[in-house]
């Protein structure tokens, strides 16, 4: 009888975020007859975010880990893995990498670790302690997934992982859900406070946390208003997402005098519809791997401005599909917003950006690459340096 491959996905916290969204996409998209899934959140699992999982047979386990070293939960985690009897251990980012020695001790046949980006305390991956940790745990990982060229180079040369064990699999976007605004799109998202005829909306989507740097966007938007461009009375700002900086950012919006023009949308399930209501999309992050929200904005055909960090330049074709600005530069971002708004509704780079996403970053392509990797990993011999399961470093060009 056919037995599906059991993948145990391990993350620090299962809540709204780019990496966590990829895990949801894999669970929903991998063939249901061939794969089954368990999610282990080392801390908490957000019950609202869990609703995005379309399968009813996924076990969700939250371990309530407290801040500090992970070693205290090793015995409990070992017992859990022995019960789950996984075929593939799939960990995401540094906090989950700490669990790979336990997965090896529990004799899970294949261990796949994914690097989706860095922490706000180490936005360029230079922290020597983190590098040493990654080097120490290399031996417990069979295959690495990186989502951008920058992360691929980092794992290969800073961490020192052999080329055959590192796979570049960019995040994918559902280009059917995320599509440009059409003439038939007359209805606005639920409780959307702006009117298409009356307002010009600059928007962003992302968790409200330091690494996403929405404060830069607030400051730049305030600078645009101070310059009193044409149509300044129509300008509005939308921030979609929630997180630990919500209240601090709201206070800052008051301090810079723009609070009455800002919509704090919170976490939403209707992001495709909200993006289609934007006029300009801005991604002000300090660091990124392959940004899911940037891909989604590209698929929507929006004019895009993004900071020149991480995988953003790769996604935007070094500026061919959007405008790149230095991270942390309020004046340059304000000028880019003003320039983009002044060119509306003239043709933008949006249509070519969508074509790029459809060609290179479709959700179908991403899921197929993981299917091959997980299938080969599950069926390959369980030696840490066996490279026969490689699907090869997936190029971006």
The order of strands in the sheet holding 5-11 is 59-62, 35-41, 5-11, 88-92, 110-115, 143-146, 166-168
CATH of the domain at 129: 3.40.50.2000
Pair 151, 215 in one domain: no
Pair 206, 338 in one domain: yes
- Structural domain contains residue 387: no
**Burial letters for 14-42: b for 16+ Cβ neighbours within 10 Å, e otherwise?**
bbbbbbbbbbbbbbbbbeeeebbbbbbbb
Which domain covers residue 95, as residue numbers?
Answer: 5-172+362-379
pLDDT grade, residue 392 (50/70/90)? Answer: very low
pLDDT grade, residue 1 (50/70/90)? Answer: low
Q: Of 34, 151, 25, 140, which is closest to residue 91 (Cα–Cα)?
A: 140
- Structural domain contains residue 386: no
Pair 232, 143 in one domain: no
Pair 346, 226 in one domain: yes
67: burial class by Cβ within 10 Å (0-12, 13-18, 19+)?
Answer: exposed
- Structural domain contains residue 395: no
CB 208 within 8 Å of CB 244: yes
% of the chain beyond a pLDDT of 70: 93
CB 36 within 8 Å of CB 5: yes
Task: Report pTM.
Answer: 0.84
Pair 294, 316 in one domain: yes
Pair 219, 132 in one domain: no
Cα 359 to chain center, whole Å?
19
Pair 153, 34 in one domain: yes
Pair 105, 210 in one domain: no
pLDDT value of residue 259: 97
- Structural domain contains residue 177: no
Pair 118, 258 in one domain: no
Pair 116, 85 in one domain: yes
pLDDT value of residue 385: 37
Q: What is the pLDDT of residues 234-293, one digit of tens each?
A: 999 999 999 999 999 999 999 999 999 999 999 998 999 999 999 999 999 999 988 999
What is the number of domains present in the chain? 2
Q: Of 61, 3, 63, 13, which is closest to residue 36 (Cα–Cα)?
A: 3
Pair 167, 229 in one domain: no
CA distance 20 to 26: 10
CA distance 170 to 376: 19
- Structural domain contains residue 47: yes
Pair 221, 87 in one domain: no
């Amino acid at each position: 009888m056919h037995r599906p491959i059991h993948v145990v996905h391990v993350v620090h916290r299962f809540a709204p975020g780019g990496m966590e969204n990829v895990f949801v996409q894999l669970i929903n998209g991998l063939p249901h007859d061939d794969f089954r899934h368990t999610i282990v959140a080392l801390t908490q699992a957000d019950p609202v975010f869990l609703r995005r999982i379309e399968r009813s047979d996924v076990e969700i386990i939250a371990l309530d880990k407290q801040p500090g070293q992970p070693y205290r939960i090793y015995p409990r985690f070992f017992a859990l893995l022995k019960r789950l009897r996984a075929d593939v251990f799939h960990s995401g980012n540094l906090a989950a990498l700490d669990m790979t020695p336990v997965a090896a001790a529990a004799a899970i046949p294949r261990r796949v670790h994914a690097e989706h980006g860095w922490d706000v305390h180490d936005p360029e991956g230079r922290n020597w302690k983190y590098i040493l940790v990654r080097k120490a745990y290399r031996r417990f990982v069979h295959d690495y997934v990186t989502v951008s060229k920058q992360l691929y180079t980092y794992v290969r040369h800073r961490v020192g992982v052999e080329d055959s064990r590192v796979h570049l699999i960019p995040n994918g976007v559902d280009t059917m859900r995320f599509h440009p605004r059409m003439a038939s799109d007359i209805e606005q998202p639920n409780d959307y406070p702006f009117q298409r005829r009356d307002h010009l909306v600059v928007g962003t989507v992302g968790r409200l946390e330091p690494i996403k740097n929405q404060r830069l966007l607030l400051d730049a938007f305030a600078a645009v208003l101070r310059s009193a461009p044409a149509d300044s009375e129509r300008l509005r700002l939308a921030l979609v997402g929630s997180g630990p900086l919500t209240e601090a950012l709201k206070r800052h919006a008051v301090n810079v005098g723009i609070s009455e023009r800002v919509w704090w949308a919170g976490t939403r399930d209707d992001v495709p519809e909200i993006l289609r209501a934007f006029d300009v999309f801005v991604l002000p992050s300090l660091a990124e791997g392959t940004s899911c929200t940037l891909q989604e904005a590209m698929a929507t055909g929006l004019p895009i401005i993004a900071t020149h960090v991480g995988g953003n330049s790769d996604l935007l074709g070094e500026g061919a599909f959007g405008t790149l600005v230095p991270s942390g530069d309020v004046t340059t971002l304000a000028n880019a917003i003003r320039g983009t708004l002044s060119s509306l509704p003239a043709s933008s780079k949006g249509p070519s950006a969508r074509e790029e996403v459809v060609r290179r970053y479709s959700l179908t392509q991403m899921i197929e690459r993981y299917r091959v990797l997980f299938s080969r990993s599950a069926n390959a011999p369980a030696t840490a340096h066996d490279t026969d399961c490689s699907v090869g470093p997936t190029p971006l060009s």
